[in-house]
Structure 1
Amino acid sequence: DGPDPIYTSQILKILKKNHIPATFFLVGKNAQKYPKLVQEEMKSGYQIGNHTFSHPHLNTLSEAQISLQLVKTDQIIQKITGQKPLFLRTPYEELNENILNIAHSDHKQIILSTLTLEHQLSKTPKAKAERVMGMVFPGAIILAHDGRLNRHSTVKALPYLIRGLQAKGYRFVSLPELFRK
């Protein structure tokens, strides 16, 4: 949901320190507001994906409105990075026929997460990481937000998660590498 002036840099620092690949799905209005963070993500070798311009419930919008959300964000990201995003993660991971048609016509690969680090019932960062570690499987896509709300616990949980999964023999791969397999 970023980039976010508080949490994105903290998450980038953790990922870089541990050599962890990731994809940042950007909300267009935030990318427009914080282009230097987008440049830092790109310069650090991370994938950039589209997460709409204003984070609406897409399943309530017309095809034209959905398309505008995606096109506007693509244009912002392309202006900042020089590259058009290949991946789309819809807000709230909502899908319907209109969303699928638009993504398909724009050659976007829709990404849905399989696990989230921000589970509400896990009270501490360590508990959040342990919950994910207990449910993870090869090929899992783990969602860890860097914006929109207070993401302090996500930042704190990330090192636990990385160390724990690596200790279990898991390795982290980029989305392009995951889908090549």
Structure 2
Amino acid sequence: MQTIRTLRPNVTRAEAVAGFQRGWGGFLRRARWGALRSISEVYVPFRLYRVEIVNDTIPRISWFALDAVNGSLDLYQFEHQPGETELMRVETRNRPQPALDDARALRLLQDRIRRLIFQTGFFRVRNLQIRAELIPLDLHVPYWIGFYGRGETPRLRVMDAVRRCFEGAKARAFFESWLAS
């Protein structure tokens, strides 16, 4: 097993099980996919960047984290670099290996930040510059995966253990691909 640094989860195992089973959604999933068989905590490696965004000569510093596997998961944004109070050490084997090279990660990060800025108002953007600096920090984000089903092929549902929310098809495809490899 390997020791990694991860953001502190805001969802315990018991809360995750309850979240996967409760409500009308849980009832419909059980009827369609079968009962919740098990859950597992998975730690996804992320790269942390210090990002300077200049819009019409007004600089702003933010911290963003991009998943280091393929860059497809939602970005994390921080107001400051995560410190020891926000991080913890965990021994685990449940983690995908980083596969995204630095140059591609930087391009993906800049494109996604640009998209976020344009969503706030295209006409407010003037002389946009995005500069990102990779911070050497071993950072992982915990996710809970619920396995449902009858028979041989399980169905997955993914919960972000930090944000306390369920993820959609993109995250489900990410974890299905990792589990199949």
TM-score of the superposed pair, with normalisation by structure 2:
0.25
- Give 1 or 2 for the bigger CA radius of gyration: 2
TM-score of the superposed pair, with normalisation by structure 1:
0.25
Q: Which has the higher helix share?
A: 1
Q: Which has the higher strand share?
A: 2
